[in-house]
Structure 1
Amino acid sequence: MADLKLLGSFPHSVACQRSEQAEPCATRTPCMLPRPLAWLLLCLIGWGTTPLAARPRLLSPAATVRLVTCAPGTEAYALFGHSALRITDPRQGLDHVYNYGTFDFHTPNFYGRFLRGDLRYFLSATSFATFCAAYQAEQRPLTEQVLALQPAETQRVYDELEATLASPARFYRYQFFADNCTTRLYELITRSVTGSLQLDSTYIPAGQTYRQLLAPYLAPAPWVKVGMNLGLGWPADQPTVFRQRLFLPTELSQAWAHTSRQHRPFVTRTRSLFAAPILSEQSPGWATPGRVLGSLAILFALAASLPARYSLLAAVLGRGVLAVVGLTGCLIAGLQLFSLHTPAHYNYQLLWLLPTHLLVAVSPVRRWWRPYAAGAIGLLVVGSLLGYGVYYARLLPEIGWLLGVLFGQLLLLRKQPFGVVQQTGA
């Protein structure tokens, strides 16, 4: 097993150049597969083992191991990119890609198991041509790095992958931060390397949290950004060290690019396999979280300022806000109680995303609204300071609008039952 050492400084850069032995993806003409079919192809490629060619037991000295890094896509499932290993042996006609990011849509209770965190992912293998075609269909660039492994180390990587494919060990429980398609490749390579590897750690910003690492990947999908930031708990706000950053494919690629072995670069060649055409950045449209929640806050403020006899609009908006916040709180509480996703645990957002708000939204019993509102306001202040104010006000400013609307609604609830016109005696 390799001993990876972090060095204070090591000036190292990798020059991009073409391989003499293997060609990049054969065609650069955009594939016109519809997105659903392209996604299906991405999920289906290489389940289990590929029967395209018999696999040799012993690789030749010309065999190489290459880390393939797939750029992020536009769909939610593709926002963070992907990693796979490509093993080539031109003397034996071998060119396979091994992928730890495969799962089966036909798994019983697929979505329930996905949310709970016990959906089984597994290792698969396919031909490089098939793998490359799938990412061309999605117009997602591919980059590969040839790793400086000795023939015996290349053989160990290949043997372990083949043995895993043929055994129940190919299945594993996916954990987003700790055990995914990228971290497994890092562990495999470091296990297979004899001697030590040296990493120049100066490129790594100090003290970045998981939430901060995710931020640039979530920026193109504002609603996913809101949902994921609300769903992540205290573990996502802990500072990361080198090893903890490697759940992201780009981080692993950068790590190998800054690694040396016996004063020589660990990456011998870096090249683009498929460079997608430059497309104009797609606008998320008008209905971004910031605009929707900001408009809601303005509308609520206007409605709440109306005389009591015209307060029906404020009542409807208020009940709607409480219902949405309560439903969100129910989902987060469910993740806390039943999910195996560790990053979702200890979620301080539950201090203001109270599931009980849903009961207030639908309950006709008014006598407990005032004391409930007083307690909820206190929890809202504490929760917003701990969560929103301390950790991610800059990452998620749009939530400030929702906090303001919820605070205003609880104040109205504290003063008098909402949605009821006060009656005067005859």
Structure 2
Amino acid sequence: MIYSPTEKASGRVSAFYLPASGIRLLLLAFLWVWGAGAAAATPATNDTLAISLLTCAPGSETYALFGHSALRVTNPGRGLDRVYNYGTFDFRTPNFYWRFLRGDLRYFLSATSFAEFRKSYRQENRAVTEQVLALRQPEAQLLHQQLETTLHSGARFYQYQFFTDNCTTRLLGHLRSVTQAQPLHHYTYADSAIRYRQLLAPYLAPAPWVSFGINIGLGMPADRYASFEQRLFLPLELQRALAHASRLGRPFVQQTRPLLTTTPPRPPQVFTPSFFLVGLGLLLLLAQLLPARYSLVPRVLQSSFLAAAGLMGCFLVGLQLISLHSPVHANYQVLWLQPTHLLWAFVQPRRVWRPFLAAALLGIVVGGSLGWVVDYIEPTSESGLLLGLLFWQLLVLFRRCGQVAEPLKQAGVSD
């Protein structure tokens, strides 16, 4: 038995005793309880990086119609919560609109706090969804390092290409880099045969005039079929792909949660391009029915229409010549939306113009038939209406040139 020194000196001995091994066990238990209590008294720190894909819903502004993607990096233990965004450009850039149109405006990677990011999208009334990705810690750390290195170097700038190199494809490139594989294995959920132009249609539906302009401006690259990988330039397509993706038999997305939920109002669009073109057609028809003394009215309407169409054709030609945006190249719609329409708006009806007008009419027929004959272009209702109006007005001008030539010929004959 073991006694305390005071008990042994006084001769008072307790009946309670422990062997030496028991004292060691009691001491270990005491230390464990004390350590647990200290741990409970001190808040636990989480030094784990988490990477999330943030997908932002389309907005009302033209540049926001297709949505947006960003990466969120969090580390609660270090107080880190940043959002990395490849869709940044500077309005203060010299010759901003010219460079934007030409395609050499520099986009760049930027970073901001998540609080600022959320505040911005709340003000824009746009929904944001977060997908927490199943990355290993070395992969998450490597991705964070890549983003920070790029952010503080000249590599943060890049030349934006809508279909192939944008804010979404850049993030996908980082994910593939750190995983050293393509985690997107489930392709069966997606339609296999779909064109780029068809992919854009749902996003452009709320903005019919923007849709009209973009569909006129896009060339043959927009009417090629997009593979599963190629369609991931759209933020919502990437979000959908990751939701179906797996890696090593496990979902690539650990958790999906809405960060902002909004329902932006969509006012009904009454004055659409189709409405305008149908109204213009009726106006041109009524002008043709006016008495002869009002012959100037249909001529002015026709000239105005052909001048506007000619300016659009000049714009298409110029866009193909100067723009670095590949989707606007090889735009065979210029076969029917011809720059020479500007000439027909101001010429006086003469027989000499008939061969040239016949060639213009043939160009409209060929350009309009491409969608059905060689499956080159996906025709839209607006472009079909515009094409029909152009053919009709050039045909009217063609007939007028023949009608006014004969009296002039007779006037030059003497008895």
Q: What interval of TM-score do these two structures reach, taking the shorter chain for normalisation?
A: 0.7 to 0.9
Alignment counterpart, residue 294 of structure 1, candidates 278, 283, 289: 278
Greater RCO, 1 or 2 (C-alpha within 8 Å, sep 6+): 1
Aligned to 1:208: 194
- Report how far residue 281 of structure 1 moved: 2.9
Amino acid at match of 2:329: H
Q: Please give the alpha-carbon distance, in whole angstroms, between the structure 2 residues aligned to 1:140 and 1:421.
A: 62
Aligned to 1:40: none
Q: Is the 8 A contact 1:120 1:171 kept in 2?
A: yes
For the pair 1:333 / 2:317, whether they are aligned, the reply is: yes
Amino acid at match of 2:172: Y
- Report how far residue 307 of structure 1 moved: 4.9
- Report how far residue 419 of structure 1 moved: 12
| Pairs within 5 Å for 1:148-167 | 148-167=134-153
Q: Please give the alpha-carbon distance, in whole angstroms, between the structure 2 residues aligned to 1:78 and 1:198.
A: 26
**Pair 1:303–1:365, CA change in 2 (3 A):** closer
Provide structure 1 residue ranges, at least 5 long, that are not aligned to the other structure.
1-58
- Secondary structure in 1 matching 2:158: strand
Q: Please give the alpha-carbon distance, in whole angstroms, between the structure 2 residues aligned to 1:209 and 1:122.
A: 28
- Report how far residue 110 of structure 1 moved: 0.7
Q: Is the 8 A contact 2:162 2:233 kept in 1?
A: yes
Q: Please give the alpha-carbon distance, in whole angstroms, between the structure 1 residues aligned to 2:393 and 2:145.
A: 62
For the pair 1:108 / 2:82, whether they are aligned, the reply is: no
Q: Is the 8 A contact 1:311 1:419 kept in 2?
A: no
Larger radius of gyration: 2
Q: Please give the alpha-carbon distance, in whole angstroms, between the structure 2 residues aligned to 1:361 and 1:368.
A: 16
Aligned to 2:268: 283
- Report how far residue 305 of structure 1 moved: 3.7
For the pair 1:85 / 2:85, whether they are aligned, the reply is: no
For the pair 1:176 / 2:186, whether they are aligned, the reply is: no
Q: CA RMSD in A?
A: 2.3
Alignment counterpart, residue 310 of structure 1, candidates 274, 287, 294: 294
Amino acid at match of 2:366: V
For the pair 1:349 / 2:317, whether they are aligned, the reply is: no
Alignment counterpart, residue 127 of structure 2, candidates 138, 141, 166: 141
Q: Is the 8 A contact 1:117 1:339 kept in 2?
A: yes
For the pair 1:272 / 2:262, whether they are aligned, the reply is: no
For the pair 1:227 / 2:195, whether they are aligned, the reply is: no
Amino acid at match of 2:91: F
Scaled by the length of structure 1, what TM-score is found?
A: 0.81
Alignment counterpart, residue 392 of structure 1, candidates 363, 378, 398: 378
Aligned to 2:243: 257
Aligned to 2:172: 186
Identity %: 55
Aligned to 1:409: 393
Q: Is the 8 A contact 2:281 2:389 kept in 1?
A: yes
Q: Please give the alpha-carbon distance, in whole angstroms, between the structure 1 residues aligned to 2:130 and 2:345.
A: 54
**Pair 1:340–1:194, CA change in 2 (3 A):** closer
- Report how far residue 359 of structure 1 moved: 2.0
Equivalent pairs, count: 364
Scaled by the length of structure 2, what TM-score is found?
A: 0.83
Q: Is the 8 A contact 1:99 1:124 kept in 2?
A: yes
**Pair 1:336–1:274, CA change in 2 (3 A):** same
Q: Is the 8 A contact 2:55 2:130 kept in 1?
A: yes
Listed one character per residue, the Cα deviations across residues 235-267 of structure 1 (whole Å, up to 9, x for unaligned) are 111111111101100011111111101111000
Provide structure 2 residue ranges, at least 5 long, that are not aligned to the other structure.
1-44
**Pair 1:268–1:418, CA change in 2 (3 A):** farther
